[in-house]
Structure formats: C-alpha cells, structure tokens
Structure 1
C-alpha cells in the first residue's frame, strides 16, 4: 500500500499568489503527513513588488514534507520583451508563457530523478497552462484560486457572459448579473478589458475560465462563513452543470500570513513604521485599503479615492503601488505621496506594500481583478487573523 502522495505545486507570480499558496501548502502538509509537496517558484522580480525570496520562504518551513524549488531566471532579452507589454494580465501571462519550457524541464527532472511517483498537480489560475503537462503524464490537476469565491464564480460564469454581453458598444451604466454576486454589478465596475474581446487580457481570462472546467477540482482561498452567498451559488452551479462539466469546489481559506513573518524581513523598517503608526490609533478606527502587489490605479482613480478619504475624516492606511516601469509624476500621485505620508499627525498614513491585519482596522477594503470590493468587518478580521494580530 502506498504511504505517500507526491504532488507538484506551481504558484502564480506575485506575493498575492505566492503567500496564500505557501500557506496552503504548509497547512496541508502539517495536517496530513501522507502528502508531500514540491513547490516550483518563478522569479517574478521583473513584474512584481516586494516578493520575498524563496530562500526566505524556505526558512519558515518546518516540515520535511514540503520543499521549495527556485526556477532559473529568464534572460535579460526575454525580460525586456515582457516589460514591453502593458501591465496587468498580459504581462503576467507572458511571464508565465516564457516559464513554461522551464517548468516542463523541471517537472521532467523531478519525475525521473527525485519523486517516487507523481500523483498530481496543484496549479494557480495563472499557471493553468501546466494542465497540458499533467495530461501528458496522465495525472490529475487541481487549481488553487488565491482570490475569493465571488470572483471565482465570475470566472466560471465568463463563458456564458461572453455569449450574451455586448462589448465595445455597450453602455457603462448597464447592470450585469452573475450568479456569485447577490446584486447586479455596473459594467463600469468591471475591468474594461472584459468588454474588448480582442484584448489579450480578455482572451487569457476566457481561456482560463474554460480550463477551470477540465480540472479534477478547484480550491478557493475563502470560507463559507465569509462568502456564504458566493459559495452557495458556486455549489448550485456545480450541481446544475450538465454532464458534470464543473468540478467540485473546495473552500480552504483563509490562507493568509497570520503572523506577518513572511513580510517582516521583506519590508523591514517600512513595516516597523506602519506598525508604530497603527499602535497609536484607537481600536477599530483605521480603514485599510489594499489593491494587490501589482494592482496599480490610474490617476483619476487615485484622486477619487484620495478625495473620498480626505472628506471622510477617517484614519486610514492605504497600500498604494504604482506600475513597476512607470515613474508617476501626476498630481494624484503627489496627493498620495505627500498628503498621505505627511498627514500622519491626524492618524493617517499611506504608500507601499503593507502586511498583516491588526485589530486597529475597523474595515478592510480589498481588490481582486478590479471586479470586487469587499468590506471585512471586525468579526471577519478577528476570525481570519486570530492571535497573529496586534491587540
């Protein structure tokens, strides 16, 4: 009888994908020692902010059943080609595309020289191209969605939207209905590339949504108590799927850096400044805004958010990240860099990639693909962060 299941995990680029994947891998191997995971880590430094090195991640792993393998860096010429693409999904997709031959070589080496037997893959949505490798090897694949259930529901529904929604000629005021959102969502709230069928980002997203129907199962970084409506709607989609096209969806969250240990060495003094600021604020008084390590906003959006925060009078912490290759000199950027950084006397601070979820936060606004904005109330924060948060 076989004693161990050996799986290869291929996370997507960016700290928002890598951290939840590492946390999930740690949790899985700690709960079941019959599982052994090998995580293949891409060098995402050309496109991502603040991703700790695999060596730092490896230092936090305390089990023999989990190991990280750093994949070779891409050539300078390839990196230049990647950066020539626009930011967002096209650039990330191109990075993963150029890594596919490297991933395939690494998998072949592991299969033939190190692993006793490969039992399957756990893939990120961005690395779903590895499905072809899994099919060649005759092993099952699972996709781990590092974002929440509501966005996963949108992804699963995208092929249906593709057939009925008008694209360029549509009105921005039109309301779109998707199963995983309780209320209809204005078209203007979605990423605009979703309404341009010739856009590279749209093509990749549609291709991904179709690939999700060909996997053994889908893992999502959420939990039913937090996204009950979305989780229930996905269960209904699975049950109503003809010929079992949709596979079982497993909520496995929240997978977060509860203690902040992953971020501490990566952020250093900047993290200390953030925590010092938060420790001086009253409990449940700070709004935390975070749009992802690669989630840049245009100047108009930055201005709108800045004006709203100023008018609200509330304390806030804004994790603002601009495009990697663009030097921002707009008035909106000066608002975020000067007003937010210097107005800490009034209990406000902004800028940089932030970590953790201290109990000073009264609400937490997060972003994923521009398609969802959530408010995490204190109940959800304490449930997610537990003892890892400062009191």
Structure 2
C-alpha cells in the first residue's frame, strides 16, 4: 500500500466564507502528506451571488495540485430557499444533492487499486452527507468554520432541548445571562444568535448537531492559545473529538500588499497604523439612516479611513440577499461628506479585506465580527471595534470583547435581520461610532494583547505549533484507513 493515493472528498456549503475556508483547509491537509489527494464536490448556490460565482470560476481556472473540482448536478426544480425559514431550507437544499454524491462516489469507489477513498470532510450545512459516508462505511469529518465556543454553545443548547426537554426558544428570548460550558463568563441572551431564537434556527441546529455526533472528528477553525477554555470544555463529553486546526486563512493577494491601485497608493502615503478600515462581510450593508450616522461618526473621529460601503439588495427580490456596490455613494452619504473627507478617507465598494488588513497603514478595524474576519484581524495584529450584524456575530463579539479582551465594544448586541430588513432596526448613533473608533485606535491594552495574539496565531500553524500538531494527528488518523 506504499504507493496508494488516499483520496478525501470535501463537500463545502455554497457560501463565500464557507467555501473559501474549506478550500484553504484542503490545502493545509495536502501540505501535510504527499499521498493525499482531494476531490471537492461543488453545489451550485440557490441564489445569485457574484462573489461566489467569481471564486468558483477562479478555482476552475487556477489548477491546485492534487485537488480536483466536480460540480454537482442540480434538480430541475431544486428546493427553494424560504425567506421565513432560511437556515433549515438552506440545509434541505444542500442535502437534496445526496443522490448526486452517491452516483459520483459509486464511480470513485471503483477506481484503480492505486487510489483509495478514505473519508469525507463536510461543512456544517452539509452534514446530511454523513449518511452517504455511513452507507459506504467511510469516516466523516466535519469542518466548522466558526469558533469552538460557538460550537460548544450549539452542542449545549441541543443537549438542553433533547436531554433536558427545555424550551430553548423561550430561554433564548428571555432576559439575563446563561452559563454555557464553553464560555468562561455567563453569556447574556441579548448576544444569542437571532436564528436560534426562532423555530427555523432551532430545527437547523438540532439537525446539524445531531448529524455531527456521527462524525469521526470535528475540525474547528481556531487555535488552542486563543480558546483554551472552549476547547477543554469538550473533554469528557460524548461529542466527537474536536481538533483546533486554525487559523485557516485565505491570504492570496497579500504578498504584493495590494494591486497598485489608487487606494493602495494612497495607503502607502499614510502613517503606520493611522487608518481605520470599515468592512462588513459579504452580507453587510445598512439603510440610509444608519449610513449617515456612520459617516458622521467617522468624520467626527478625525481618523483616516477606508470604508467599504455597499447597497442593500432590492426588497422585491426575496432570494437576492447580497449587497452590491453603489453607482454613486453620494445618494446615501451626508451632503458634502466626500468633499470634506477627500484628504483623509476613501469610500469604496467591495473591499480586498485581507490585503487591506495586511497593509502597515491600517491600525483599526470596524467589523461585523464574522469569524474569518476576526481571525484575519488577529493574524495581522489589527484591533477590532465590534459591530455585528447577523448569525453568531454578536456572540463572536462578546467572546472577543469580554472573554478575551481582544476587541472594543462599539455595539456588541447590534443586529439586522438580513432576510427581513424591514423589521425593527436599532440605530447606532454617530456618537457611538466615534467612540468605538477612538477606543479601537487608542486602547493601548487591547492593542498590545492583539499584537501578542498575532504572534501566537502564526506560531500555532508553524511546524511544532498546536494546530500543526492537531492537523498531523488528523492526517495520521485518515491515512490509517488505507492500511
């Protein structure tokens, strides 16, 4: 069996942050063992998203050694995403592809003796595919794109519902704090993820965690030095082993620190750590009232800035939930804002976030607190001011501010219902924006802690580091399946 190639099958969810992260995870595994190869099964997204389409096209064009991509067929009438139940309907949509995976696996399992399929690695939104792995008597691993504390929260809530028969929706909607084993501090219910306060999110959580219990191991995009308490909380439980493998980051484009554009030429001329970056992820956008408050707060802070400002999708397109760039941002900005700030700031559309965080001039980050973004900010040693929007971002913000002291609280419990933006929305005031930016740029204690964690994050993935060791253990485990 010395010359046998061990083939892993990766199944990512069709969402930008998920697919980019899992592809980077694939590359890391390949780097650990030359006998590994990976087939990535791509699900066509059920909605229009240009960034994802562009990324998938780039994968097809740029060959990655020992990784091949297969686009799964799609039903002629695939399950539609229900705006009233976006999470469970997305899960159902992904799992409707099981039959196509079975067909592809039948071909792969009949390959020559020199190639042996040794397991599945699936996204949390594709855990229904574990059934296919079980049918084929193959081990399945789950790649969890968020952090260990949030995974612990999900497992704990599932346990309360299944084992203790508690009404977790009522609990999530109550006021106060709840002790969650994966968090050091009691967690206020105001930072609980909005999806888990309704039946749709609960159904999604129960389905995904239930299936994860059948997995051989869970790879989590975090590292031991960042979340020692959360990772330890899984010890002595009946949950599958949790392996911290991060930070797993897509650092493509960082090498040249920009693309020679006007934006990067402008940054090159700014003092070190003097610019604050405002960037809110693939779904981050605000209405006109909030945009004006952010603009006023920015202007009043006096700090140099780069602001990725994007337009909400049209309300009449229920399945188009992704922001797009403004033709002219003046339509939502305060009168004269661009003229008054022309020397100290840049308002742009889509942002090359990693390249911007890597730039020496960027010294602060107002973020939606998506986990990938927070890991990037720590990697480059840039402190965050938290302005979460949806999903688990409020909980990420709580963790970064309260548990770790690695961020400042701009508005930790802020949230927008991206699937129903017409609902009640709290406005973050210009005063709060100004204060958050100032603290993010000036809090010496937070800045020192972030710089220290930056070093630890890089050490974790280097040879001999904690995540490097975790990955080595997983690879050894996987390779044992070809004997």
Structure 2 residue 227 is the aligned partner of structure 1 residue 222: no
- On the 8 A contact 1:220/1:249 being kept in 2, the answer is yes
Give the match's secondary structure for 1:8.
Answer: strand
Q: Separation in 2 of the partners of 1:349 and 1:181?
A: 37
Structure 1 CA distance, aligned partners of 2:14 and 2:337? 29
Deviation at 1:83, TM superposition (A): 4.6
2:118 maps to 119
Partner of 1:372: 396
| Residue of structure 2 in register with 1:190 after alignment | 192
Q: Using the alignment, how far apart are the partners of 2:342 and 2:246 within structure 1? A: 34
Partner residue, 1:247: 240
2:233 matches 1:236: yes
**CA displacement at 1:185 relative to structure 2:** 2.7
Say which SS state the counterpart of residue 36 (structure 1) adopts: strand
Gapped runs of 5+ residues in structure 2? Answer: 314-318, 372-390, 401-405, 408-449, 460-483
| Corresponding residue for residue 212 of structure 1 | 212
Q: Does structure 2 conserve the Cα–Cα contact (< 8 Å) formed by 1:38 and 1:69?
A: yes
- Equivalents in 2 of 1:372, 1:168: separation in Å? 22
What is the CA distance between 1:125 and its match in structure 2?
Answer: 0.6
Q: Specify the SS of the correspondent of 1:240.
A: coil
Match of 2:80 in 1: 82
Matched residue of 1:372: which SS?
Answer: helix
**Gap change, CA 1:307 and 1:11, over 3 Å in 2:** farther
Compared CA separation, residues 193 and 236, structure 1 to 2 (3 A): closer
> Which residue of 282, 286, 303 corresponds with 1:293?
282
Kindly state the Cα deviation for residue 144 of structure 1 after the two structures are TM-superposed.
0.7
Residue of structure 2 equivalent to 1:338 = 333
* Alpha-carbon shift at residue 381 of structure 1 (Å): 5.1
What do residues 203-229 of structure 1 show as CA deviations (whole Å, max 9, x unaligned)? 11222122222210111112123x234
2:347 matched residue in structure 1: 349
Provide Cα deviations, 1:313-349, integer angstroms capped at 9, x if missing partner. Answer: 44444556645626989xxx97995369935543253
**2:181 — aligned with what?**
179
Aligned CA distance change for structure 1 residues 169 and 303 (closer, same or farther; 3 Å):
farther
Question: Counterparts in 2 of 1:1-391, with a 5 A limit?
Answer: 1-2=1-2, 3-44=4-45, 46-51=47-52, 52-63=54-65, 65-73=66-74, 75=76, 77-78=77-78, 82-86=80-84, 88-113=86-111, 116-162=115-161, 163-164=165-166, 167-168=169-170, 173-196=175-198, 199-225=199-225, 227-229=226-228, 232-237=229-234, 239-241=235-237, 245-260=238-253, 272=261, 274-294=263-283, 309=298, 312-319=301-308, 322-323=312-313, 325=320, 338=333, 342=338, 343=341, 345-349=343-347, 351-352=349-350, 354-356=352-354, 357-359=357-359, 360-364=361-365, 365=367, 366-368=369-371, 369=391, 370=393, 371-373=395-397, 374=400, 375=406, 377-380=450-453
RMSD (Å), alpha carbons: 3.9
Determine if contact 1:277/1:347 at 8 Å carries over to the other structure. Answer: no
**1:242-269 deviation line (CA, Å, top 9, x unaligned):** xxx212211111111213289x9xxx99
Instruction: Note the alpha carbon deviations across 1:224-244, whole angstroms, 9 max, x for none.
Output: 23x234xx332332x221xxx
Structure 2 length-normalised TM: 0.64
CA contact (8 A) 1:219 1:250 kept: yes
Go from structure 1 to structure 2 and tell me whether the alpha carbon gap of 1:281 and 1:183 turns closer, same or farther (over 3 Å shift): farther
**SS of structure 2 residue aligned to 1:259:** coil
Q: How many residues align?
A: 365
SS at match of 2:358: coil
**Long gaps (5+) in structure 1:** 387-391
Q: Which has more radius of gyration?
A: 2
State the shift of 1:137 in Å.
0.5
Shift of residue 33 of structure 1? 0.6
Contact preservation (8 Å) 1:221, 1:253: yes
Aligned mates of 2:252, 2:323 — CA distance in 1 = 33
Tell whether the 8 Å contact from 1:88 to 1:294 is kept in structure 2 after alignment.
Answer: no
